[in-house]
Amino acid sequence: MKNILCFGDSNTFGFVPEDGTRYDKNTRWSGQLQNLLKDGYKVIEAGCNNRTAFTQNPAGTLFTGIKMLPAYLTHHKELHLVIIAVGINDLQFAYQNSIDDIYAGMKKLVRMTKESTSAKILLIIPSVIKKTILKSFFAAMFDESSIEKSLKLPQIYKTIAEEENIQYIDLNNVAETSDIDGLHYSSQAHSQIAIEVAKKIRQIL
């Protein structure tokens, strides 16, 4: 049995842009993975709304990736792959993270993961934030600078993946965020993501 940890934020949790509920297990991409991979794989879903990657989240440890991920790695000792799908919430304007901060923070998260487990790592590059977020509920958290920084994430993540010799998937080549809030994915996008991630997993494992 190959154990896969999907550690992510609201887009791994399955946040529905229309109403803020949660997509069911057969709709959200991390849930669909189990159906796509079938026997021989066990997918552990670990998504959390508003989770940051490296920034200290005022909501606590559960919401702070670099503090919460070690707990999952300790609890699930026999992992074969860790999927890291966080980083977009670190762009919230209240955190005032610079491009250098983002690079250093994501690098630290990846290095910590490598030092804590022998499992392989798959880094997920989030789709860029759309301007429609500025007219949504999330305008209270994200602004124009957040959108601009999201455009820089693909290069930052790719650089880190190459430096750390880990695999990555750029979701900008797979699915766009919803026009409703510019941040989360439609059910169709979740299916597209699940298919690409499953394909990558088969290549890695």
Give residue 116's pLDDT band: very low, low, confident or very high (50, 70, 90): very high
- Superfamily of domain 2-204 in CATH is SGNH hydrolase (3.40.50.1110)
User: Which pLDDT score is estimated for 77?
Assistant: 83
Helix, strand, coil shares of the chain, percent, nearest 5, are 50, 15, 35
The answer to whether the beta carbons of residues 145 and 93 sit under 8 Å apart is yes
Alpha-carbon separation of residue 165 from 87, 99, 103, 117 (angstroms): 19, 21, 16, 15
In the chain, what percentage of residues exceed pLDDT 70?
A: 100
Which contacts qualify for 110-115: CB closer than 8 Å, 24 or more apart? 110/84, 110/160, 110/164, 110/166, 111/164, 112/66, 112/69, 112/70, 113/69, 113/73, 113/82, 113/84, 114/164, 114/166
Q: What are the pLDDT digits (tens) for 56-98? A: 999 999 999 999 999 999 999 899 999 999 999 999 999 999 9
User: Which pLDDT score is estimated for 145?
Assistant: 98
Tokens of 97: 């993270």
Q: pTM for this structure? A: 0.97
Rg of the Cα atoms in the chain: 16
- Which one, of 48, 46, 56, lies nearest residue 92 by Cα? 56
